[in-house]
A and B are shown apart, each in its own frame.
Chain A
């Protein structure tokens, strides 16, 4: 999809910077993934990162030199599918199970309410 011209270069620069912004937005979610008090908090953070990654793949495919957007759109579709399946599997695993790894109840924290 080579559309040579000045505005194509400007669009490419916009896509690069928007992709960098999207990448930087993953960092706080990584923080939540680390400190998440319950296990399902961490799974939600992973789900958010997975959605962002699927979108980021479309960014990468658009700015990829040579115009291979078809390939990256397929990647994004497959990544979204795997993300959904992973979330459902994790939800089924933690459903009515005692395996919730989030019993991090620091003393005094429960007494705030």
Chain B
């Protein structure tokens, strides 16, 4: 891999910039997710922050890495192992996109079936009688 010819310098700059932008956006969304998990008032809103923020930011960061490793491929002496890394990163993307909302939904359903009270404006629960307070 080392003896392959270097790619065009401007191409590398563009690809690395796209990768950096994607990763920084992903880190920003991770930060939003963390702040939401830490500060939101009840269980369902925390779940909302965790599910959405984690899914999108993982997708963005791993997409950024896919772009970066696509830029690292030396097309002059091409080996399939280099491209396989990019394909696996995209597979992680697809996998997270499928599984993270599923896990979030399953956990939310478990919490609702256990009777965790949603935060509402009204006094008491608008949906059903609470058994557990989900605040804190």
**Are A87 and B54 neighbours in the complex by a CB distance under 8 Å?**
no
Q: A2-B2, A77-B92, A95-B110 are in contact. Are A29 and B133 (CB under 8 A)?
A: no
Q: Which residue of B lies closest to A98 (CB)?
A: B114
Q: A58-B62, A87-B103, A100-B114 are in contact. Are A44 and B37 (CB under 8 A)?
A: yes
Q: Which of B106, B114, B120, B135 is A97 in contact with, Cβ under 8 Å?
A: B114
Describe A's contact surface by its main secondary structure: helix
Q: What is the size, in residues, of chain A's interface with B at 8 Å between Cβ atoms?
A: 62
Q: Which residue of A lies closest to B73 (CB)?
A: A1
**Are A3 and B72 neighbours in the complex by a CB distance under 8 Å?**
yes
**Are A80 and B99 neighbours in the complex by a CB distance under 8 Å?**
yes
**Are B37 and A38 neighbours in the complex by a CB distance under 8 Å?**
no
Describe B's contact surface by its main secondary structure: helix
Question: Is B24 an interface residue, CB under 8 A from the partner?
Answer: yes
**Are A2 and B1 neighbours in the complex by a CB distance under 8 Å?**
yes
Q: A103-B132, A105-B133 are in contact. Are A51 and B109 (CB under 8 A)?
A: no
- CB proximity to A under 8 Å, residues B66-95: 68-69, 72, 81-82, 84-85, 88-89, 91-92, 95
- Complex CA gap A29/B120 in Å reads 25
- Complex CA gap A51/B50 in Å reads 10
Closest chain-B Cβ to A20's Cβ sits at a distance in Å of: 11
- Complex CA gap A81/B102 in Å reads 12
Query: Scoring B residues 27 to 52 as 1 if CB is less than 8 Å from chain A, else 0, what string do you get?
Result: 10011011101100001001100100
- Complex CA gap A11/B19 in Å reads 10
- Complex CA gap A35/B46 in Å reads 13
**Are B89 and A25 neighbours in the complex by a CB distance under 8 Å?**
no
15 additional contacts, CB 8 Å, given A32-B38, A41-B43, A109-B133?
A: A2-B1, A14-B23, A22-B30, A25-B34, A29-B37, A38-B132, A45-B37, A58-B61, A73-B89, A94-B114, A95-B114, A97-B114, A105-B133, A110-B133, A113-B123
Query: What are 18 inter-chain pairs, A to B, with CB distance below 8 A?
Result: A3-B6, A4-B2, A18-B23, A22-B27, A28-B34, A37-B136, A38-B134, A40-B116, A45-B37, A45-B50, A58-B62, A69-B85, A88-B102, A96-B113, A97-B114, A100-B132, A104-B136, A109-B133
